[in-house]
Amino acid sequence: MKRIGMLTSGGDCQALNAAMRGVVKSLLNSGQDVEIYGFLNGYKGLIYGDFKMLTGKDFSGILTVGGTILGSSRTPFKTIKDPDENGLNKVEAMKQNYHKLQLDCLVILGGNGTHKTANLLRQEGLNVVTLPKTIDNDLYGTDMTFGFQSAVDIATDCIDCIHTTAASHGRIFIVEVMGHKVGYLTLNAGMAGGADIILIPEIPYDIDKIVDAVKQREKNGSKFTIIAVAEGAISKEDAKLSKKEYQKKLEKRKYPSVSYEVAAQILEKTGQEVRVTVPGHTQRGGSPCPYDRVFASRLGAEAGKLILAGEYGFMVGYRNREIVKVPLEDVAGKLKMLDPESTIIKEAKMLGISFGD
Catalytic residues: 136
Alpha carbon distances (Å) from 107 to 36, 37, 93: 10, 10, 17
Does residue 143 sit in helix, strand or coil? coil
Residues composing the chain: 357
- Which residue type is seen at 100? K
* CB contact at 8 A, 95 and 51: no
Show the 3-state SS of 276-304. EECCHHHHHCCCCCHHHHHHHHHHHHHHH
DSSP secondary structure letter of residue 59:
G
Neighbours of 163 (CB within 10 A): 17
- Rounded Cα gap, residues 142 and 19, in angstroms: 16
Instruction: Please report, in angstroms and rounded to a whole number, the separation of the first and last CA atoms in the chain.
Output: 58
Phi, psi of 71 (to 5 degrees): 75, 160
CA-wise closest residue to 37 among 134, 120, 108: 108
Q: C-alpha dihedral over 291, 296, 297, 301, to 10 degrees? A: 140
CA-wise closest residue to 200 among 145, 252, 137: 137
Q: Taken in order 121, 125, 131, 136, is the CA torsion positive or negative? A: positive
DSSP secondary structure letter of residue 77:
G
- Rounded Cα gap, residues 173 and 194, in angstroms: 12
* CB contact at 8 A, 43 and 94: yes
* CB contact at 8 A, 36 and 317: no
Cβ partners under 8 Å of residue 5, min gap 6 = 37, 38, 39, 46, 51, 98, 101, 103, 105, 106, 107
